[in-house]
A and B are shown apart, each in its own frame.
Chain A
Amino acid sequence: NAGVTQTPKFRILKIGQSMTLQCTQDMNHNYMYWYRQDPGMGLKLIYYSVGAGITDKGEVPNGYNVSRSTTEDFPLRLELAAPSQTSVYFCASSYSSGEQYFGPGTRLTVL
């Protein structure tokens, strides 16, 4: 199993551009999450999903959108990138609310 995979690993955006961060898991987990982590800080939950077709907001959802059309995929969309969205983004999955398995992260810089 590959576990949780994320693409791209790195990306630089200009202010106002949009992009989609991809996340795929092959563990048949029903729960999936998107977090952002600022330097030296913990994880802030952006959005999460408890199953295909179901999504909900976390602590810091503004400026982001998600969809969950399949069990495996949970893409995160940034519509109008802002410097405040410069961060490292982690996708995670879990079976129910148990141990979360994290991807390697996407490092995003908005200039």
Chain B
Amino acid sequence: TQLLEQSPQFLSIQEGENLTVYCNSSSVFSSLQWYRQEPGEGPVLLVTVVTGGEVKKLKRLTFQFGDARKDSSLHITAAQPGDTGLYLCAGAETSGSRLTFGEGTQLTVNP
């Protein structure tokens, strides 16, 4: 079973600060997805990255897939209270295989 380790586990910051969360593995993934989950709801997909070295931007969120396709990062610029939630990364070993989820990073952005 592949393992995805996310860090930090918890992060509490002030509005306007920047932050980066990490998703690391010793295994290679064909693709990696990032989800955000708000309290009492199911996770919602933010982005999928498939190419080593790929960078994708979604407004203030920047996602990067490592060159070796073993790790990924999510950077948030000028965080807002609405960014509060549990951020989950999930990797697929091969195209068509099931996802393995990380344990998540719980982000709290204080006004």
Q: Is the CB of B41 within 8 A of A100?
A: no
- Stretch of A65-73, A77-85, A90-98 at the chain-chain interface: A90-98
30 contacts between A and B (CB under 8 A): A4-B42, A33-B98, A35-B101, A40-B104, A40-B106, A41-B103, A41-B104, A42-B6, A42-B88, A42-B101, A42-B102, A42-B103, A43-B43, A43-B88, A44-B101, A45-B101, A48-B98, A59-B1, A90-B43, A97-B96, A99-B33, A99-B48, A100-B33, A100-B43, A100-B45, A102-B43, A102-B44, A104-B40, A104-B41, A104-B42
Q: Which residues of chain B have a CB within 8 Å of any CB of chain A?
A: 1, 6, 33, 40-45, 48, 88, 90, 92, 95-99, 101-104, 106
- Given A40-B106, A41-B103, A105-B40, verify A99-B45 contact (CB < 8 Å): yes
CB distance from A71 to the nearest CB of B (A): 18
Q: How far is B104's CA from A44's CA once the two chains are assembled, in angstroms? A: 12
CB distance from A13 to the nearest CB of B (A): 20
Closest partner residue, chain B, to A35 (CB atom): B101
Q: Is the CB of B42 within 8 A of A42?
A: no
Interface size class of A (residues with CB under 8 A): 20 to 34
Q: How far is B15's CA from A80's CA once the two chains are assembled, in angstroms? A: 47
Q: Which of B43, B45, B48, B98 contacts A45 (CB 8 A)?
A: B98
